[in-house]
Structure 1
Amino acid sequence: MIDIRFQKFSAGSIAATETVLKFEPTAQTPRVSCLMVSKGNMQFIQSAHRQFKAQTWPNKELVIVSSNISPALRQLAGADPDIVLCEAPAGQSLGELRNISVARASGEFICQWDDDDLYDPQRIAVAMGVLLKASVSAVFLQNLLLWWQARGKLAISVLRLWEGTILAHRSVVPVYPALTKGEDSAVANWITQHHSVALIDCADLYCYRVTGENTWNEAHFEKMFETASRVFAPEEFADVLALPCFR
């Protein structure tokens, strides 16, 4: 059993109620659809799929949406009944692709599952535990790990609502705007204005990777590291990289 700290916000409110949850597996296991929009990079897809399969939450599916579906991806999807593979038309914006993933999801809850990021095995279970305990419509992480491997940088992010970490009741998720980036910010802003949410203080659950294939440019990530709440020294890397999300 571990302590999970989170802040609960009512719809449209900036005042939070801080709570500590004694986290333990819940008997309630509604279906969670993990939504992956992918450019088709099989190295990323295989990593994200492996960490999806390692999740302790039992009732889940992985919805993969891509306009670049390779034979290897078809083979992966064909071998795993938990994968829903959707071929999207070329030229769709990221927001439009996210809408396709929501439309194809069968779960009562949806969880963004970007293929270039890394996930702790309890990423879904902790988020669902907080959502159910706090009786909120959506949860986000308020901090996460940042890893820029090519530059040898590791950090803990600044405290804020991290849009890409959304896990929400499907019924509260609006249509994503047809944007090539920033689409998840618009959705997160709308949800926080109209529904109750919780922000989870557990950076170990999620690692945001800078890979060179991200939607945002290098200047964007440089700013993230400049404003990070903690930047790890090289001698600390071994301990950080031993965390479950890096396995």
Structure 2
Amino acid sequence: MFRRAKKCFLNQTYENKELVVLFENDPATEEHVRNSSEYSYFELHELPEAFPFIIVQFEDENGEAYNSALRQKALLRNNDGHVLTYINSKWEYMYISPLVYEFTLIPVNDYSFKLLWNELWVNINKDGSVILTAHETDALIYGSTELVDTSVRLDLKCFEPNNRSLERYGWEKKAVRPNADSNIVFYKVMAKQRMSLGMKRNLSIRAAHGEYICVWDDDDYYSENRISNQMNFLRFSEKMACSLAYEIFFDHNSGRAYYNFERSTGHENSLLFSKKDAGQYGNLNVEEDTPLLLNFYNRNQLAIMDDPELYVYNFHKRNTCTNSHFQMFIGRSTLLDNEYTLKIKELLELPV
């Protein structure tokens, strides 16, 4: 599947492009990359905690990650074990347990906030100690409110929201075998914690050099005009993001092709968007792309495009989404005739 996705990328009529590929704990991929001098190859090392607090994934009493569209939880933990946690729009400061303080989150903008305790503003020093002030003008501005991504460090100083460098998020890039002539770049992720698919997607955005991101799932097929058509439509619409209202859907289990159903937001896997002021993928392994899509949609920054043949979405039973998700997909889609289905099969089976 990767070979096919790579071929689709290289065949794109849009020339100024870069394919960013992240992998973690994958010996087969690492061997392939080390033996293929056609790629640029780097490592991404997670840095030691540079700031006194780091956002970490919250786990419930059963040890499972807590994620909900209605109720978010994230922890800010310092080296001494003190925890600042966000629960139902409230910040709580505790030493594991019991509860010591309850803070209120006061947003400054989409990427920063201040902390309020009763009528006093809270400043956290670099050593983890807390100072209270009665004057809002003396209150520190913290970042970031992107609470769903556990790779974010909390910088206790004022910061530039558009600074999305790898270092800003606690990662160091190390060269293994750079290739200035290659626009396919592999990154081996050397993480100190288990990373969800959403976290890896966010990390790949930070590693990418371009100003725009085009989602490129390795198991799908793309027309050679996909990037060009979507970029032209995005510029025409003057929005921040573009998605496809329809895609061609192919079920490898039945050998049938479908014209899938329209969605008011378009389909997440077809997103092309500007990195500037973009939201983030959720800290999830499934449906991690929904928060990002809705972020654009809710701000009226999403352009919905009607060009279904740009994208063939594959269902092959090894997808991250569940079988029930795809059965729902099939039930709401239109079955295509045998002639068109045969064309799709030939596309997907062509030798690379």
1:70 to 18, 30, 37: 30
Letter paired with 2:196? S
**Equivalent-residue separation in structure 2 for 1:112 and 1:72 (angstroms):** 22
Specify the alignment match of 1:202 in structure 2.
307
Secondary structure of residue in 1 paired with 2:253: helix
Unpaired runs of 5+ residues, structure 1, are 1-43
CA RMSD of superposed structures (Å): 1.9
Specify the alignment match of 2:246 in structure 1.
143
Question: Could you tell me the percent identity over the aligned residues?
Answer: 27
Specify the alignment match of 2:274 in structure 1.
169
- Is the contact made by 2:268 and 2:293 (CA closer than 8 Å) also made in structure 1? yes
Letter paired with 1:179? L
Q: 1:220 to 1:81 in 2, by over 3 A?
A: same
- The answer to whether the aligner puts 1:223 opposite 2:328 as a matched pair is yes
- The answer to whether the aligner puts 1:211 opposite 2:316 as a matched pair is yes
Give the alignment's TM-score, normalised by structure 1: 0.76
Letter paired with 2:32? A
Letter paired with 1:61? E
Which structure: larger Rg? 2
**Equivalent-residue separation in structure 2 for 1:64 and 1:101 (angstroms):** 7
Q: Give the Å deviation of 1:134.
A: 1.5
**Equivalent-residue separation in structure 2 for 1:113 and 1:154 (angstroms):** 20
- The answer to whether the aligner puts 1:87 opposite 2:192 as a matched pair is no
Specify the alignment match of 2:200 in structure 1.
97
Q: Larger deviation: 201-210 or 187-196?
A: 187-196
- Is the contact made by 1:54 and 1:121 (CA closer than 8 Å) also made in structure 2? yes
- Is the contact made by 1:108 and 1:169 (CA closer than 8 Å) also made in structure 2? yes
Q: Give the Å deviation of 1:233.
A: 3.3
- The answer to whether the aligner puts 1:179 opposite 2:284 as a matched pair is yes
Specify the alignment match of 1:119 in structure 2.
222
1:158 to 256, 261, 274: 261
**Equivalent-residue separation in structure 1 for 2:322 and 2:21 (angstroms):** 24
The structure richer in helix per residue is 1
| Aligned length, in residue pairs | 202
1:232 to 328, 331, 336: 336
* Deviation string, structure 1 residues 65-116 (Cα, Å, up to 9, x no partner): 1112331134252476101211123731011000110110110100110000
Give the alignment's TM-score, normalised by structure 2: 0.54
Highest RCO, 1 vs 2 (Cα 8 Å, sep ≥ 6): 1
Unpaired runs of 5+ residues, structure 2, are 41-178
Q: 1:102 to 1:81 in 2, by over 3 A?
A: same
Q: Give the Å deviation of 1:239.
A: 3.8
Secondary structure of residue in 1 paired with 2:14: coil
Secondary structure of residue in 2 paired with 1:171: coil
Secondary structure of residue in 2 paired with 1:219: helix
Secondary structure of residue in 2 paired with 1:183: coil
Q: Larger deviation: 53-62 or 210-219?
A: 210-219
**Equivalent-residue separation in structure 1 for 2:31 and 2:287 (angstroms):** 31
- Is the contact made by 1:137 and 1:195 (CA closer than 8 Å) also made in structure 2? no
Specify the alignment match of 1:7 in structure 2.
none
* Deviation string, structure 1 residues 194-236 (Cα, Å, up to 9, x no partner): 24221111110001101221001222111111100x2023344
- Is the contact made by 1:172 and 1:191 (CA closer than 8 Å) also made in structure 2? no
Secondary structure of residue in 2 paired with 1:172: coil
Secondary structure of residue in 2 paired with 1:164: helix
Letter paired with 2:231? M
- Is the contact made by 2:282 and 2:290 (CA closer than 8 Å) also made in structure 1? no
Q: 1:246 to 1:55 in 2, by over 3 A?
A: farther
